[in-house]
Amino acid sequence: MDGGLNNLKKHVFFELLNLAGRAFVLVGYSDDVLLGNRRFTAEEKENGIILVFNSKMNFMWDDYGITATLVFGTSPQKCFVPADAIRAVYSPELNAQFTVSPQPKAVGGQSERLSTKTRIGQPTVGALKTKPRKQEGSVMKSAAKKNVIQVDFTKKTKR
């Protein structure tokens, strides 16, 4: 992942920590994440785990990620969270969040994002299988647009 993006995560984290006194970090599953002798549960592997850091904790965020001793239940665990595994940094007190989408997995040496030309015309996984509504003045000019759903964001008045 881009070092600039990881630096932005770090900056947002410390800003939220300074303003609210604590910051929440959503960590996606990765073999590189170390949570002491604790392991990711099946649900955490799918959705990630939320770790809470406060300004009184002893931790270090360097170029690679966050190193800290975190307490799970009553058991302190030495942990390391790579910056690339951090999916979101947020603060409920400030109603603020910074979210990053996970990197696509490599397919045949290329990322999924780079291999889209092999999937042109195929709906993406989880794509809605509804036909787009034709709007006034809207003409479908190619078959590739048949998977596009148009949304009208104009404000409707209540009656």
Q: Could you report the per-residue pLDDT of 84-103, keeping only the tens digit for each?
A: 999 999 999 999 999 998 76
Q: Could you report the per-residue pLDDT of 120-147, keeping only the tens digit for each?
A: 333 434 333 344 444 444 444 444 455 5
Which of 85, 93, 107, 101 minimizes the C-alpha distance to 30? Answer: 85
Rounded-to-integer distance, Cα 135 and Cα 120, Å:
25
> What are the beta bridge partners of residue 134?
none
Alpha helices in the chain (DSSP H): 3-20, 42-47
Q: Is the pTM of this model over 0.75?
A: no
Rounded-to-integer distance, Cα 100 and Cα 79, Å:
21
Q: Could you report the per-residue pLDDT of 44-88, keeping only the tens digit for each?
A: 999 999 999 999 999 999 999 999 999 988 999 999 999 999 999
Higher pLDDT, 16 or 139: 16
